[in-house]
Amino acid sequence: MKLNLPQTVEVFINHVNLHGLRILHLSDLHINKKIKEKTLIELINTCNNLDYDFAVITGDIIDCKVKYIKEKLHILNTLSSKKPVYYISGNHDLVYGLEELKKELSNFIFMDNISKNINFNNNKICIVGLADRFSKFFKIKRDEKKVFNLLKENKATIFISHQPKDYKLAVNSQTDLFLCGHTHGGQIFPFHFFVRLIQPFLAGLFYKNKTAIYVNRGLGTWGIDYRYKADSEITILKLISKSVE
């Protein structure tokens, strides 16, 4: 895991209640036995120096069994000492033990198939999470209908899921903001082209109808511990309402 300098991305949204909200978006940490504890401490220190209202981790936190990396997860768990942290499952979390991961991340808020309301500037904002697409292989429910209804019935909404493929749920429900990861931005060029064959978006900011979409390249790696033309990222998303632009 290589930590690059944090970046701030301005995201234009429709709902005025979201104006000024700052979200720390992390994804795909892929914590394994090789990642050093000092790297995670550096990550926490870097994030603690940033200005944001809450953090979101869009899946794939682990890349080995939890029993081998408990101390590292305890370090990650301290991220919530500053602001709330919301997270959802990724396919690697399911493979290596989602229930064990949830026990170690006791300070974080697990969001699969549920919603949480937060107060921002005296306005209600609804965060909705969806279980990963691989859930069915682990006999875990992925409730798209429930999530769609939660998004549809609330006004100022933020939808978090692991894979970009879930963007249609956000667009069809007129969700303000959809956050995801999974792609690693291709990780190693020219695999970018292969990822684009199976995912609708590679990395970065996109707009579809009334929905802003952000695909995070993630922090960790999978397979080969190397990135090329797909830098890792720590991102603050600064929401700007079009009505007060």
The predicted-structure confidence for 77-117, as pLDDT tens digits, reads as follows: 999 888 999 999 999 999 999 999 999 999 999 999 999 99
Q: What is the pLDDT of residue 155?
A: 87
Is residue 1, in this structure, part of any structural domain at all? no
Highest mean predicted confidence (pLDDT) among 58-67, 134-143, 191-200, 223-232: 58-67
**What's the Rg (C-alpha) of the chain?**
17
Which residues face 127 on adjacent strands?
A: 116, 158
- Supply the pLDDT for residue 144: 96
Please say if the pLDDT value at position 133 is more than 70. Answer: yes
Q: pLDDT value at position 225?
A: 80
User: Domain of 94: which CATH number?
Assistant: 3.60.21.10
The C-alpha atoms of residue 128 and residue 54 are separated, in whole angstroms, by 14
pLDDT > 90? residue 75: yes
In a domain, 116, yes or no: yes
Task: With respect to residue 48, please indicate whether it lies within any of the assigned structural domains.
Answer: yes
Most confident of 51-55, 190-194, 218-222: 51-55
Cα 17 from chain centre: 21
Domain membership flag for residue 2: no
Average pLDDT over every residue of 2-21: 92
Q: What percent of the chain has pLDDT over 90?
A: 82
Asked whether residue 36 is domain-assigned, the answer is yes
**What pLDDT does 226 receive?**
67
Q: Per mean pLDDT, which range of 148-162, 168-182, 227-241 is the poorest?
A: 227-241
Domain presence at residue 62:
yes
Does some domain include residue 150? yes
Residue 165 within any structural domain of the chain: yes
Q: Does residue 38 surpass a pLDDT of 80?
A: yes
Is the predicted pLDDT of residue 196 greater than 90, yes or no?
no
Could you list the residue range(s) of the whole structural domain that residue 62 is in?
7-244
Give the percent of the chain with pLDDT over 70: 98
- pLDDT band at residue 245 using 50, 70 and 90 as cut-offs: low
Split into its structural domains, the chain has a count of 1
Better-predicted residue by pLDDT, 143 or 243: 143
Per mean pLDDT, which of 2-6, 121-125, 227-231 is the most reliable?
A: 121-125
